[in-house]
């Protein structure tokens, strides 16, 4: 028996329960594509899969609504795959283990995949339902939203017939989104020379863990800790006080997630061992005080380790410490036109070692295209000064708000009618696929809404049950009214 069996509406949660059992990492969506194809076939509906892996399932209108406009329901099928270090989970094969607690659906030590599994589930529930009223429907399920929006970018013109799109990839009940930021990735590769381990050194593993993490767009303004910045702050200080040598460094994972964990294997001369320990305890106290309100579960640990095989050459490690310290992270500017909206931000996402290179991945977002490229150039310059080679991704466009949109007006008025409160109509700092859709289908009228999800892109991800019920009610009533 599933923990979700008793939740209402039953059809919505039935499909969410099925989806969470299908592995679907970004760029490895073959199993969820097959599931969608099978589901479309079982429902007797026209099902198309394009060369990129995007799936389209069409459903005819209910009786009396055959002449209504075609509506596109759109969600992405991939999920961010993050887990706590002490959790054993194979995202390529294992189902997500879920439980219900305090009106939230949660996962056991991993991301839940509500982003955007609940949107996929809602679309499938509409397709499977026999008691809803609606016009003709096209459900568009896109691949690889989380790591490049390549599914949306690859979507061909004339594949879809509708002119109205409901994007089901938002994460706040009571908020209706009419625009989003564009983004770009900046990746720096810093080569190093492995060197012989010096004699007479004490070796220690420095760990930063227990941070909240979160979405690098939705959560960037919340003042959360970044494990890469915290770890490097200590290493930078010690490199100026001791004869520190760096053997290994690893922090963060995904470009669109705020780094929750990081660690480094370092050594100092035996004579400086106690200095290291005392400074670490002092540093821990300082960071805990600075982040007491935002990061109550923060942990910094120092443990003795055996000597490594090699270390990074001293020049490169010092260049790395300086570059990571100088690299901006967080909000760069708030919007002048939409109060409370982050205009431009950057995320120091991950620091990894591969062969004889250190690879630093960052991502930049902005609702203003020129500002997005400006902050990407700023990050580029920091790592260029450190001697790294720097490359930018192709990026993706933002979605310019249309305040006169008919579908936005209908959705907002329907929300107020159903729940007796006005929704907040606004843009979002996270990236949505809508900007890419407009490049192929400039005539589309679009809106985005969804239930409340917290902690997306981290193992603290959770889905509000009551908000999910309201999301379903809003979706079905909007479809009935179009």
Q: What single string gives the DSSP state of each residue in 243-304?
A: --EEEEEEE---TTEE---EEEEEEEEGGGHHHHHHHHHHHHHHHHHHTTTT-TT-EEEEEE
Could you tell me how many residues make up the chain? 482
Token duo for residue 160? 């879809």
How would you label 170-200 residue by residue, b for 16+ Cβ within 10 Å and e otherwise? bbbbebbbbbbbbbbbbbbebebeeeeeeee
How many CB atoms neighbour CB 390 within 10 A? Answer: 20
Using alpha carbons, select from 1, 12, 2 the residue that is nearest to residue 469: 12
In degrees and rounded to multiples of 5, residue 55 shows phi and psi of -115, 135
Question: Measured at the alpha carbon of residue 54, what is the angle toward residues 431 and 476, in degrees to the nearest 5?
Answer: 70
Distance of CA 300 to the CA centre of its chain: 25
The active-site residue, picked from 18, 78, 185, 295, is 78
Euclidean distance between CA atoms 209 and 262, whole angstroms: 7
The question of whether 78 is a catalytic residue gets the answer yes
DSSP conformation class of 22: S
145 is catalytic: yes
Considering the candidates 115, 145, 185, 477, report the single residue annotated as catalytic: 145
Helix (H, G, I), strand (E, B) or coil at 464: strand
Residue 188 in tokens: 């720096």
Which whole-number Å values give the CA distances from 139 to 12, 44, 78, 186, 226, in the listed order?
15, 14, 16, 33, 37
Q: 257-282: buried (b, 16+ CB within 10 Å) or exposed (e) per residue? A: bbbbbbbbbbbbbeebbeebeebbee
Q: Looking at residue 86, what DSSP letter applies?
A: T
Q: Looking at the annotation, which residues are catalytic?
A: 78, 145
């Amino acid at each position: 028996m599933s923990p979700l069996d008793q939740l209402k509406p039953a059809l919505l949660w039935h499909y969410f329960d099925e989806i969470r059992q299908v592995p679907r990492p970004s760029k490895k969506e073959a199993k969820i594509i097959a599931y969608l194809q099978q589901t479309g076939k079982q429902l007797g509906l026209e099902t198309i899969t394009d060369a990129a892996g995007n799936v389209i399932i069409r459903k005819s209108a209910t009786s009396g609504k055959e002449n209504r406009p075609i509506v596109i329901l759109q969600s992405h099928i991939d999920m961010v795959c993050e887990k706590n270090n002490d959790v054993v989970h194979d995202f390529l094969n294992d189902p997500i283990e879920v439980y219900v607690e305090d009106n939230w659906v949660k996962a056991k030590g991993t991301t839940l995949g509500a982003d955007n599994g609940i949107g996929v589930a809602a679309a499938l529930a509409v397709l499977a339902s026999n008691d809803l009223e609606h016009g003709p429907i096209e459900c568009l399920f896109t691949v690889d939203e989380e790591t490049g929006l390549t599914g949306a970018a690859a979507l061909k013109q004339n594949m879809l017939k509708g002119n109205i799109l409901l994007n089901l990839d938002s994460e706040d009940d009571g908020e209706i989104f009419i625009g989003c930021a564009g983004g770009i990735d900046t990746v720096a590769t810093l080569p190093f020379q492995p060197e012989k381990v010096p004699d007479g050194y004490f070796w220690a593993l420095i760990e930063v863990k227990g941070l909240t993490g979160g979405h690098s767009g939705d959560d960037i303004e919340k003042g959360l800790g970044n494990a890469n910045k915290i770890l490097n702050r200590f290493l930078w200080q010690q490199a100026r006080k001791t004869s520190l040598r760096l053997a290994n460094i690893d922090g963060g994972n995904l470009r669109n997630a705020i780094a929750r964990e990081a660690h480094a294997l370092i050594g100092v001369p035996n004579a400086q061992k106690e200095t290291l320990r005392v400074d670490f305890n002092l540093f821990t106290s300082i960071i805990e005080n600075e982040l007491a309100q935002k990061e109550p579960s923060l942990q910094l640990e120092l443990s003795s380790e055996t000597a490594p095989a090699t270390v990074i050459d001293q020049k490169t490690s010092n260049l790395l410490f300086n570059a990571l310290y100088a690299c901006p992270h967080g909000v760069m500017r708030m919007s002048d036109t939409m109060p409370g909206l982050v205009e431009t931000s950057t995320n120091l996402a991950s620091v990894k070692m591969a062969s004889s290179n250190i690879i630093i991945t960052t991502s930049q977002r902005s609702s203003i295209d020129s500002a997005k490229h400006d902050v990407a150039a700023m990050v580029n310059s920091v790592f260029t000064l450190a001697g790294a080679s720097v490359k930018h991704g192709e990026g993706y466009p933002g979605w310019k708000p249309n305040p006169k949109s008919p579908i936005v007006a209908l959705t907002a008025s329907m929300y107020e009618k159903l729940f007796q409160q006005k929704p907040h109509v606004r843009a979002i700092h996270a990236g949505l696929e809508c900007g890419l859709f407009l490049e192929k289908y400039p005539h589309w009228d679009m809106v985005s809404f969804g239930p409340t999800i917290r902690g997306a892109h981290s193992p603290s991800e959770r889905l509000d049950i009551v908000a999910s019920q309201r999301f379903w009610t809003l979706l079905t009533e909007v479809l009935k009214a179009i």
